Structure 1
Amino acid sequence: MNQRIAIIDLGSNSARLIIVEIYENGAYNLIYHQKDAVRLSQAADKDRRLQPEAMVRAMNLLKSFTHMCQIHKTDKILAVGTAALRNAVNGGEFIEEVQKETGVTIEIISGEVEAKLGYLGAINTLDVTDAILFDLGGGSTELTLVKNRKAEKVISLPFGAVTLTERFNIENKASEEQLASLNEFISQEIDKIPWLKNLKLPLVGIGGTARSIGKMEQKRNNYPLLKLHNYRTSSISFHSLWDDVTKMTCAQRRKVAGLSNDRADIIIAGLAIVKQLFDKNTSTQLIISSCGVREGLFFEYYLSQTGHTELIPSPLVHSTHNMLLFYKVNANHACHVAKLANQLFNDWQEALDLHPNDKPLLEVAALLHDTGIRVNYYDHARHSAYLIENARLFGLSHREQIMAAVIAGWHHSPSVKYSYNRIYNEFLDAGNWQTARKLALLLAFAEALDTTQMGLVEKVTTVFSDKQAQLKLTTKEAIPLELQALKKHSKWLKRETRFDLSITE
């Protein structure tokens, strides 16, 4: 039986609702998302009380969220409140009023729990081993030292983009003196963290400020993809952005491409925190994670239901198999093709001058090469390519995901029409295209060897001579259809390599 899970994250600056459907076969998919600015912590620093205007805004938004949950017939609502609520002396009273008005119970979580959820959301959706992970919100900043994908150190700092903006009065243009005071304050606070210094690790950013940095960088660089998660930018690019934005008035910042109007007044404070993390950590890279507390809550729930630990061993394997289940293609055929493709890669790697890092691209393309059938069987390879390109596949760079799409799109034969795709051409150079053609050839061989989708070919090995590639097949029974399909690719093989195709059973 399908389940619909709603997750509400009531933050200091904004509130978000996501609804995820979990299907009977274990697949899951995001079906609704809503985000609005709420500024719950606005003016709360003075007496540590939530202000009436802020509570009214939050209550109206939560009523809207509840209404959407009713429309989508959700089975369960998981709701958390962060810094604004835990720091306010009347936070508990507000939560009681929310429960009376909406029926939703909001759990006020500690900074440590918030950091853990952000960590789970990011580490389960990124191919990152060691990093400094920061979750920069409106009222707090959570820092996590990640080593070997595990959270080793965690701390919650009691300030964020909204509270620092109000404290240093930098809603409009910040003077040099104000910036100096802001940077000095953050520097002193970070210096109190004994484990955060000269780690030379990449930063992984969660939260609205991190997303804004990614969006502004993408606009500045004319980035062709509308995809933020796992976008990477350098320390040099960030400091250039910092220099530009800090010279602007709030009105000027509202016109910056990639920066939303409701964040223009608080962006300088947010950037200042990131700047200090860059400088103290001597990091050279920032990785943007669009997955955070909400996804962490989901994974915590979903994985507990399936009896797994909270840490997914491989985000790429997990997300690929989730996609395979979601599109309900022939999983036995897909997995068998992937197995044969892996055997071919091992034998052909040297002959085709392939790199070990190319193997995951072939595996993803092999597992998902038939997903396009759910759109239309005819030209399904092209549909598969589109679905892979736009899927929530975790663990691949944006370029690698596009390469996997091209490989799947070519699993019958290479097509020149992909080279006309502007996005593909902006990401892939001549070497990438050549690699994709070679991997697509191996995928075509692997799929041909399971033409009947009966798993008749148990094993394939390749023996090379000067002019010949001999495929040795271990089979359960006669495979006339597989042999016929395989021989159709002999000309393709000859074009790509110097080899003629030879087959023995």
Structure 2
Amino acid sequence: MIKRARKRESSVAVIDIGSNSVRLVVYRSLARSLVTVFNEKALCGLGREVQSTGLLAPDAVAKALTALRRFRALIRVMKVGQVHAIATAACRDAKNGAEFIGNAERICGVEIEILTGQREAKLSALGVISGVHKPDGLVGDLGGGSLELIGVHGNRVGTGITLPLGSLALQDESQKSLKRAARIVQSALTGSVPLKAGRDRNFYAVGGTWRALARLHIMQSGYQLKVMHGYTIPAADALAFARRLRRLVAAGTLADIETIAEARRPLLVYAALVLEHIILVAKPKAIVFSTYGVREGLLYAMLPAPERAKDGLICAAQTLNELLSRSARHAEELIGWTDRFVRVAKLRETEEDRRLRHAACLMSDVGWRVHPDHRGEQTLNLITNGNFGDVNHQGRAFMALSVFYRYAGFSEQNEPPASVRALVTPAMDERARLLGAAFRVAHLISAAMPGVLPATHFASKGRKLTLVFEHRLVDLVADRVGSRFKQLAKLAGRSGSIVRR
């Protein structure tokens, strides 16, 4: 019997013509959890002179059109199924913006949507919603030409505003005077309605230059993860950092500046200036950096409502499970198996604990192809640095530790890196050990094959936990299975035994 080949998903691309950069991002498909297969940008500086001349600079236009020709050629080579194109502040504000867009459309072969300020703000907010679990606060998207501000709460979006405070626009308008730039920013932000709603909530920082600030902060603070998305700084620390960065840039003594693209370096001080004044006016509790923004919001808005309602972390874990595990169905069965264990063992779980456990179940077999001596460390690295959203850094560390313990066990010689354990509380580390022990039992019993775990169940009497095997599986019982289950029960504060029926 010949099996039909699975229908190939249609890839989707976004061409993003920003005031500073022109970018092409290609995703595997339009999905709740986007998988990036290609990402390239050209720092063209289209908005470099719009405030002072009202025009896109000729050299920037030439550079942008050259980049777009390459992007169109790449789209053909990659056989991309859908192409969407957007343009932001520089193109909507410049007198020759329409002429440039006409030339760009002829090159790209698609219609380019020139986003209004309000639509850009809304798409930025939707991008944050797609990549942050239950966000609550204020989104600020800082581009080269403008700053968009808009409130978010769960999946609800407020009314956004746009201000001409992009890094390039501010540099141009102030004629490179930081004192003049500070006055411009203060005047624009004082009395801002969205900022008034930011007090004691998160401020979600979106945009390439703010990401550059986050990269510098990570480098200089020695933070454990180099993951930008979800990186969080208390507002007071962010304010001190922004002020210090401005002083060091002015003095030419900023360390690690070489890690930032050369074209972005002059803009850092303006991004820091805007962030400083936002913190002073809005008084947020923390700054959360988001790599999800307008492009992701554009695609998220195209999804049917049931898809948008899905948990992005679980969708990302399901994708990794399908791509890397020996049996995708086994991982789904493992979720039900650990659900039963938690219920019978009367373990306490919050809603967030439960979703992290389910995601870890889906990723529990992703390291099977790696050499046995390195599975723990390799999967730890894969999960902590995974290109997915809807989870904070603490949650990443918990999932990674759970799967690490599944592979490495609990000997003193195989302890996980202290840098990763430092990201979680002692209680979370204990839960990760417990879940890792459950994975060690489940995968030993089933060899990661489907249909086995549903034929076992748990029983509890007093302080004793029992793992019961159906009669057809009795030959799977062995001393090693028994010892691992006893270890699991001990971590749950119980004694444990195996029963055959």
Q: TM-score range by the shorter chain?
A: 0.7 to 0.9
Question: Amino acid of the residue matched to residue 286 of structure 2?
Answer: Q
Name the CA distance, whole Å, in 1 between partners of 2:98 and 2:181.
Answer: 35
Q: One-letter code of the match for 2:341?
A: L
Structure 2 vs 1, CA of residues 71 and 457 (structure 1 numbering), >3 Å: closer, same or farther?
Answer: closer
| 2:246 paired residue number | 246
User: AA paired with 2:12?
Assistant: I
- Alpha-carbon separation, structure 1, partners of 2:270 and 2:375: 49
Contact preservation (8 Å) 1:83, 1:139: yes
Letter of the structure 2 residue corresponding to residue 15 of structure 1: V
- Residue in structure 2 matched with residue 15 of structure 1 by the alignment: 22
Check whether the contact 1:127–1:396 (CA below 8 A) recurs between aligned residues. Answer: yes
> Match for residue 435 of structure 2?
439
* Shift in Å, 1:328: 5.9
- The CA deviation at 1:503 is 3.8
Whichever residue aligns with residue 479 of structure 1, its letter is L
1:260-271 aligned at under 5 Å gives the runs 260-271=261-272
Alignment match, 2:63:
57
Looking at structure 2, the residues matched to 349 and 232 of structure 1 have their Cα atoms a distance apart, in angstroms, of 33
Aligned residue number for residue 466 of structure 2? 470
| Structure 2 match to 1:201 | 201
The change in CA–CA distance for 1:292 and 1:195 in structure 2 (over 3 A counts) is closer
8 Å contact kept, 1:144–1:153 = yes
Aligned residues of 1:245 and 1:253 also touching (Cα < 8 A): no
Counterpart of 1:344? 341
Name the CA shift for 1:379/1:164 in 2 (closer, same or farther; >3 Å): closer
After superposition, the C-alpha distances for 1:70-92 in whole angstroms (9 at most, x for unaligned) are: 33332332111101001112211
The one-letter code matched in structure 2 to 1:87 is D
* Equivalences for residues 260-409 of structure 1 within 5 A: 260-301=261-302, 303=303, 307-309=304-306, 311-327=308-324, 329-350=326-347, 357-375=352-370, 383-409=378-404
Q: CA, structure 1 residues 79+384, in 2 after alignment: closer, same or farther (shift >3 Å)?
A: same
Q: Aligned-pair distance for 1:180?
A: 4.6
SS in 2 for 1:134: strand
Structure 2: 5+ residue stretches without partners? 1-7
Q: Which stretch of structure 1 is more off in the superposition, 495-504 or 267-276?
A: 495-504
Question: Residue 487 of structure 1 corresponds to which residue in structure 2?
Answer: 482
Contact kept? 2:32, 2:310, Cα under 8 Å = no
1:47, distance to aligned residue in structure 2 (A): 4.0
Name the SS for the 1:373 alignment partner: coil
Q: Are 2:213 and 1:169 aligned? A: no
Shift of 1:418: 4.5
1:64 counterpart letter in structure 2: R
* Contact residue 32 and residue 312 of structure 2 kept, 8 A: no
Amino acid at match of 2:396: Q
Rounded Cα–Cα distance in structure 2 between residues aligned with 1:67 and 1:33: 14
Amino acid at match of 1:141: L
Deviations 1:144-186 (A, max 9, x none): 1112321022222233111111111236xx34xx355234323
Q: Following TM superposition, by how much is the alpha carbon of 1:447 offset from its aligned partner in structure 2, in angstroms?
A: 3.9
The question of whether the paired residues in 2 share the 8 Å contact of 1:370 and 1:380 is answered with: no
Q: Give CA deviations for 1:63-122 in whole Å, capped at 9, x if unaligned.
A: 232233233332332111101001112211111112334535422121222222222222
Offset of residue 286 of structure 1 = 0.6
Q: Residue 214 and residue 192 in structure 1: after superposition, are their counterparts in 2 closer, same or farther (change >3 A)?
A: closer
Letter in 2 for 1:237: D
Q: Which residue of 420, 424, 436 maps to 2:420? A: 424
| Alignment partner of 1:414 out of 410, 413, 432 | 410
Partner of 2:5: none
The unaligned stretches of length 5 or more in structure 1 are: none
Amino-acid identity (%): 22
Superposed displacement of residue 321, structure 1: 1.7
User: Do the aligned residues in 2 keep the contact of 1:27 with 1:325 (CA within 8 Å)?
Assistant: no
Deviations 1:283-335 (CA, angstroms, capped at 9, x unpaired): 1201100111222233344x2xxx44573432222222222233364222111
Q: Does the Cα contact within 8 Å between 1:98 and 1:105 map onto a contact in 2? A: no
Provide the secondary structure at the position in 2 that maps to 1:457: helix
Partner of 1:225: 225
State the SS of the aligned residue for 2:161: strand
Which amino acid in structure 2 is aligned with residue 478 of structure 1? R
Q: TM-score, normalised by structure 2?
A: 0.87
- What is the RMSD computed on CA atoms of the aligned residues? 3.1
CA distance in 2, matches of 1:387, 1:271: 32
Q: Which moved more, 1:154-163 or 1:377-386?
A: 377-386
Of 152, 155, 158, the residue aligned with 2:161 is: 155
Moved more, 52-61 or 405-414: 405-414
Classify 1:235/1:200 alpha carbon distance in 2 versus 1 (closer, same or farther; 3 Å). same
Partners of 1:264 and 1:253 in 2: CA distance: 13
Instruction: Confirm or deny: 8 A CA contact 1:122 1:291 kept in the other structure.
Output: yes
Indicate how the Cα distance of structure 1 residues 28 and 430 shifts in structure 2: closer, same or farther if over 3 A, else same: closer
- Displacement of 1:337 after TM fit? 0.9
Pairing partner for 2:121 from 97, 112, 115: 115
Does the CA-based 8 Å contact 1:141-1:158 persist in structure 2?
yes
Identify the residue that residue 97 of structure 1 maps to in structure 2: 103
How far does the alpha carbon of each residue in 1:202-260 deviate from its partner, in whole angstroms, 9 at most, with x for none?
Answer: 10111023212211211121113221001001111111112212224457277544544
Paired residue secondary structure (1:462)? strand
2:4 aligned with 1:3: no
AA aligned opposite 2:466 = Q
2:76 corresponding residue in structure 1 = 70
Residue-pair matches, total: 489
Distance 1:310 1:85 in 2: 32
Residue 146 of structure 1 is matched in structure 2 by 152
Q: Is the 8 A contact 1:8 1:80 kept in 2?
A: yes
Q: Is the 8 A contact 2:134 2:155 kept in 1?
A: yes
User: TM-score, normalising length from structure 1?
Assistant: 0.86
SS at match of 1:17: strand
Q: 1:17 Cα shift?
A: 1.3
Q: What residue identity is the alignment partner of 1:146?
A: V
Partner of 2:4: none
- Whole-angstrom CA distance in 1 between matches of 2:382 and 2:270: 38
In structure 2, relative to structure 1, the CA distance for the partners of 1:155 and 1:86 (3 Å cut) is same
Measured after TM superposition, the shift of residue 125 of structure 1 is: 1.2
**Mean Cα deviation higher: 219-228 or 494-503:** 494-503
Give the direction of change, closer, same or farther, for the CA distance of 1:31–1:374 in structure 2 (3 Å limit). farther
Give the AA of the match of 2:439.
Answer: L
Displacement of 1:396: 2.3
